[in-house]
Amino acid sequence: MREHALVSSEAPAKRLVLFVGDGLRADKAFQSFPDPSPSAQGTEEAKKPRPLAPFLRSRVLEHGTFGVSHTRVPTESRPGHVALIAGLYEDVSAVMTGWKLNPVNFDSVFNKSRHTWSWGSPDILPMFEQGAVPGRVDADTYDAEFEDFSKEALELDIWVFDKVKKLFADAKTNATLDAELRKEKNVFFLHLLGLDTTGHAHRPYSKQYLHNIQVVDQGVQEITKLVEDFYDDGKTAFVFTADHGMSDWGSHGDGHPDNTRTPLIAWGSGVAKPIVNKTGVAKGHEDCFSSDWGMDQIQRHDVAQADIAALMAYLVGLAFPTNSVGELPLSYLDADPMTKAQALLVNAEEILEMYHVKEDQKKTTELRYKPFPGLGDETHSVEYRVAQIQEAIEEGDYDVSIHQSNELIQLGLQGLRYLQTYDWLFLRALVTAGYVGWIVFAITTVIDLHVLYEETETFRTAPSMIFFSSALIALYSILFMQQSPWIYYAYALFPIMFWEEVWARRPSLIKGSRILFGHVRSRTDVIKLVLSVLGFFGVLEALVQSYFDREIFTICYLFATTWPAFYGQDFMRQNVTLVATWVLSCVLMSVFTTLPANKLEDENLILLAGVLTFVVGSLYLFFEKSILAESGVSKDKLAKQEVDGLSRIILGAQLGLIALAMVVTRSSIWYIQARTGLPLGTQLVGWFTLIASLTVPFLHGLRPNSHYIHRLMVIFLTFSPSFIILTISYEGLFYFAFWLCLFSWMRLEHQVYKYTTSSSHHQSTSSNPIKPALEAAADRLTSLKKGNYRALSLSDARIALFFFFFVQSAFFSTGNIASVSSFSLDAVQRLIPVFDPFSQGALLIFKIMIPFAVMSANFGILNQRLGVPPSALFMVVMAVGDVMTLNFFYMVKDEGSWLDIGTTISHFVIASLLGVFVAGLELVSEFIIRGVTFEDQKKKEENKPVAVSGASQNGKANGTSNGPSTRSVPPHLRKK
């Protein structure tokens, strides 16, 4: 694209200094607080509120222009710096494509400068250095190990200030450097990471964060004086801002206003002086956000973050970055009306350049291109509008030209938006057809595999194959002619593929539906079915809304306490203890989603959870034999004493690791809070505890105990140390309550299955005494096909829904999975105190995933106890989950507030990944419960009749425990 710059004899400023206080909130920069500096603690004078940044405040009151810079999601350092230095808003998904280096080529103010010197974090500076003309940008960074959360982060900012001072000091003895520094169009960039690191570690209302603001203000004052004294020409422009804010819980990333509102102060050459209203409140303060800043008399000029790039380019006389969508904020310029009008026209031409390039690309590929209406005809063309603006400038109608330029900029942005969403309707239709086709295909597959046992063959005909093939060829032809991206071909392939499979398997769908709904005969049955379906989808919709309101889970858990009552008083009396445990666990779980998702570190809650898990493990260790005996295994079937002895030693080691985890966690918290640095010994003990807790359980393989309760207890104790070391508040208590709820649900579902099957068997016996014998004969004919598994029934959909509900609950009970910022990095700093986003993020994800390991174990055991094929219910859950995904697909926004945009996109991404996640849970389940046996299975094996006939002997030889031989099975039922 062509460059566009304001052609003038002299730029407003010869050089620019950019200060970026990483993670500085707008309100904290201007509010008044008691003196937080360590040297002033304990004095009466320190208790009086005062501005923490007096120098920056003086720039606002006397020398420059200020306002609030509104950032966009994701409010992370990399996209924030790209926006304010390049004027480019990255797509929200770009934050997942690279943390430190930007993978997308983009232009920037630094690249347009004569030379840029930059100092700061190795996470930010290299992407501007590597993306610029070689040798144009110098990046001086400290080592990554310097970003240590267990030490004072303000040293990061002091390092930057010292480096700048050294540069100008060296220039006094280095003539070459001095000559380079005195050239025009140079830029100096100071990246100040201390505030961000301190905010993460201590929160933005802490004394440490507020004191860091004082350090930054003092440093900015010193650098400003240093630069002004060095040049002594009054031709330097200064800009102070931030890439993003900081939430009260010490995080950022989403669209919360605390994260999107940052300060902007500009002063120096080319910058307008403050506009003062001596009679009342000045303009710009209407939102009352700045009412407690004590600057109501100074006009506030808010901008979008990308506008800062345009402002900096104008001040130094640079061409606007070619990718910039920023609008030049004229209120910041100290210029005459004609210059402002000309500058804004150049800004409009730069934005329209992008529109022209994108439109030309679209014209060459689109079969029937429809131009953007606002710029589509001769009287509204870009050339015509630019000519009108130039004519107004020549005639001195500067206000008119500025108004027209603003209109042209908005039309250019709308045109870019039009081109971006040109294929929206077409793509949405394809994606929707793909999702619906996948859901129907998944349900059809489940029916075919686990209801009909592949008895029905696929039914493909030549006309159907011709129809679907022709549809795919037509779609691909259109996409090829339009040179569409490769992903569009996938959008077109999946709906054709899924619906063709559904059409070919329609006999399975029809026959399976007759079996599943065969019990619906009377009007009462129909009403019950309709109410059940409404309730099923009502729960799914409640889960959708729970992404916006976590308290919905509380209501659902309280409703779940009444579930056993639906099976009558007899069932309740037979399972009093189990029902009571279920009710208690649901009540406990209902509490967590009423607690704040954003937590502060609470050592007492961490240790309380540790003590609770230790006590539960100890009780099991001492009463293991009686617990297993009461669960159905006779005492003579227990392991021998010496085997029990080794098993108890391993369990005791797991309990010891829980105690060690509590000790090392308490020690780590003390060192981090003291800001003395985390000792290497403490780190090593923490890592040893974490790794040992995950490896010691494998020693149980030396003396296997296949009882399911023993296996679940081992799994519970395995992850308990992890949930102590990697938590900051009530998460450990949640882990215990969640395990109890899953355990009671698994046992309760088994009792419900036994109760309902025995009831239906009793009813069929009383109504038709011969029917059980006929059913038994039919079962024997299909025993080879079914093996030890039963066919799915309609009631299994409830089990899948319960499991899906627990998946969502595990995400939302300790945080808001829809907001990354609700999961704090405080805990992982006990193991990795130095900033490392990938390693720390991996530990954080590991902690979030722990409840799902426990959940997959319980669900896998439940599958076995119900006689359901291992993958059957997981497949049902995957199909159910995409109903919610499609719901979120239509909720996605890319306009409006950035909070809405970020929230809806993250919801859709999370829901989309749930299918893959559930498939992963199935693999985890198969791994951690392999070899588990149940008392029911043992009884069946003990009561198995001895084979005496030739048929049974042949069946046994073929791997079956009972049933007829393959010779006695009709040919159409034999396995092929």
For the cut 80, the answer to whether the pLDDT of residue 898 exceeds it is: no
Q: How confident is the model at residue 330 (pLDDT cuts 50, 70, 90)?
A: very high
What is the rounded average pLDDT of the residues 878-905? 77
Tell me if 442 sits within 8 A of 878, measured CB to CB: yes
CA distance 91 to 83: 11
Render pLDDT for 547-560 as a digit per residue (tens, 0 to 9): 888 889 999 999 99
Q: Which residue has the higher pLDDT, 80 or 776?
A: 80
| pLDDT computed for residue 81 by the predictor | 92
| pLDDT computed for residue 934 by the predictor | 63
| pLDDT computed for residue 774 by the predictor | 47
For the chain, how many helices (H) and strands (E)?
37, 10
For the cut 90, the answer to whether the pLDDT of residue 483 exceeds it is: no
- For residue 709, count CB atoms less than 10 angstroms from its CB and return exposed for 0-12, middle for 13-18, buried for 19 or more: buried
For the cut 50, the answer to whether the pLDDT of residue 640 exceeds it is: no
| pLDDT computed for residue 844 by the predictor | 80
For tokens 């055991």, name the residue: 861
CA distance 889 to 881: 13
For the cut 90, the answer to whether the pLDDT of residue 568 exceeds it is: no
For the cut 90, the answer to whether the pLDDT of residue 875 exceeds it is: no
**Per the confidence metrics, is the pTM higher than 0.85?**
no
Closest CA to 496 of 433, 447, 440: 433
Mean pLDDT is lowest, of 75-89, 100-114, 191-205, 751-765, for: 751-765
Closest CA to 199 of 71, 23, 34: 23
Strands 186-192 and 303-304: unpaired
What is the rounded average pLDDT of the residues 432-447? 90
What's the token pair of residue 884?
Answer: 């919610």
What is the rounded average pLDDT of the residues 17-46? 90
For the cut 60, the answer to whether the pLDDT of residue 212 exceeds it is: yes
| pLDDT computed for residue 102 by the predictor | 56
CA distance 795 to 813: 27
Q: Which residue has the higher pLDDT, 192 or 568?
A: 192
List, in order of start, the domains of the chain with CATH numbers: 15-334 (3.40.720.10), 336-421 (no CATH), 424-517 (no CATH), 523-942 (no CATH)
Alpha carbon of residue 800 to chain centroid: 24
Beta pairing partners, 700: none
List, in order, residues 6 or more apart from 486 with CB less than 8 Å away: none
Mean pLDDT is lowest, of 414-418, 496-500, 702-706, for: 702-706
Render pLDDT for 58-76 as a digit per residue (tens, 0 to 9): 999 999 999 999 998 778 8
Render pLDDT for 172-206 as a digit per residue (tens, 0 to 9): 999 999 999 999 999 999 999 999 999 988 889 99
What's the token pair of residue 334?
Answer: 């100290």
| pLDDT computed for residue 927 by the predictor | 79
For the cut 80, the answer to whether the pLDDT of residue 785 exceeds it is: no
| pLDDT computed for residue 793 by the predictor | 83
Alpha carbon of residue 574 to chain centroid: 44
List, in order, residues 6 or more apart from 278 with CB less than 8 Å away: 297
| Size of the chain in residues | 976
Closest CA to 405 of 351, 450, 444, 331: 351
Render pLDDT for 103-129 as a digit per residue (tens, 0 to 9): 567 899 999 999 999 999 998 998 898
What is the rounded average pLDDT of the residues 939-949? 45
SS (H, E, C) 198-264: HHHHHCCCCHHHHHHHHHHHHHHHHHHHHHHHHHCCCCEEEEEECCCCCCCCCCCCCCCHHHHEEEE
DSSP secondary structure of 723-768: HHHT-SSTHHHHHHHHHHHHHHHHHHHHHHHHHHHHHHHHHHHHH-
Q: How confident is the model at residue 972 (pLDDT cuts 50, 70, 90)?
A: very low
Q: How confident is the model at residue 629 (pLDDT cuts 50, 70, 90)?
A: low
Instruction: Check residue 59 and report its DSSP letter.
Output: I
For the cut 80, the answer to whether the pLDDT of residue 779 exceeds it is: no
Closest CA to 861 of 961, 941, 743: 743
Mean pLDDT of the chain: 84
| pLDDT computed for residue 823 by the predictor | 56
Instruction: Check residue 61 and report its DSSP letter.
Output: I
Distances from the Cα of 884 to the Cαs of 310, 439, 544, 643, 917, in angstroms? Answer: 42, 11, 6, 49, 15
List, in order, residues 6 or more apart from 523 with CB less than 8 Å away: none
Q: How confident is the model at residue 455 (pLDDT cuts 50, 70, 90)?
A: low
CA distance 125 to 139: 6
What's the token pair of residue 58?
Answer: 């003086």
Alpha carbon of residue 540 to chain centroid: 20
Q: Three-state DSSP class for 526?
A: helix
| pLDDT computed for residue 92 by the predictor | 59
Sheet containing 115-120: which strands, arranged edge to edge?
137-141, 115-120, 186-192, 15-21, 236-241, 261-268, 65-70, 303-304
Q: Which residue has the higher pLDDT, 961 or 927?
A: 927
DSSP secondary structure of 927-960: HHSTT-B-HHHHHHHHTPPPP-SHHHHHHHHTT-
Q: How confident is the model at residue 445 (pLDDT cuts 50, 70, 90)?
A: confident
For the cut 70, the answer to whether the pLDDT of residue 753 exceeds it is: yes
CA distance 564 to 584: 13
Sign of CA dihedral 888, 889, 891, 895: positive
| pLDDT computed for residue 971 by the predictor | 40
CA distance 528 to 517: 12
Render pLDDT for 159-173 as a digit per residue (tens, 0 to 9): 999 999 999 999 999
Q: How confident is the model at residue 770 (pLDDT cuts 50, 70, 90)?
A: low
| pLDDT computed for residue 280 by the predictor | 87
| pLDDT computed for residue 633 by the predictor | 43
| pLDDT computed for residue 170 by the predictor | 96
| pLDDT computed for residue 461 by the predictor | 87
Tell me if 790 sits within 8 A of 756, measured CB to CB: no
Strands 261-268 and 65-70: antiparallel
Render pLDDT for 584-596 as a digit per residue (tens, 0 to 9): 999 999 998 888 7
Q: Residue 468: what residue type?
A: F
For tokens 């700093």, name the residue: 829
Q: How many CA atoms lie within 13 A of 300 on its CB side?
A: 23
| pLDDT computed for residue 960 by the predictor | 34
High-pLDDT (> 70) share of the chain, %: 86
Longest Cα separation, the chain: 112
For the cut 50, the answer to whether the pLDDT of residue 976 exceeds it is: no
| pLDDT computed for residue 201 by the predictor | 82
Phi then psi for residue 452, to 5 deg, are -100, -10
What is the rounded average pLDDT of the residues 542-546? 85
For the cut 90, the answer to whether the pLDDT of residue 731 exceeds it is: no
For the cut 70, the answer to whether the pLDDT of residue 937 exceeds it is: no
Mean pLDDT is lowest, of 18-27, 279-288, 571-580, 785-794, for: 785-794
Mean pLDDT is lowest, of 387-396, 415-424, 519-528, 817-826, for: 817-826
Q: How confident is the model at residue 93 (pLDDT cuts 50, 70, 90)?
A: low
What is the rounded average pLDDT of the residues 375-387? 83
CA distance 857 to 711: 9
What's the token pair of residue 155?
Answer: 């040293």
What is the rounded average pLDDT of the residues 907-926? 78
Q: Three-state DSSP class for 278?
A: coil
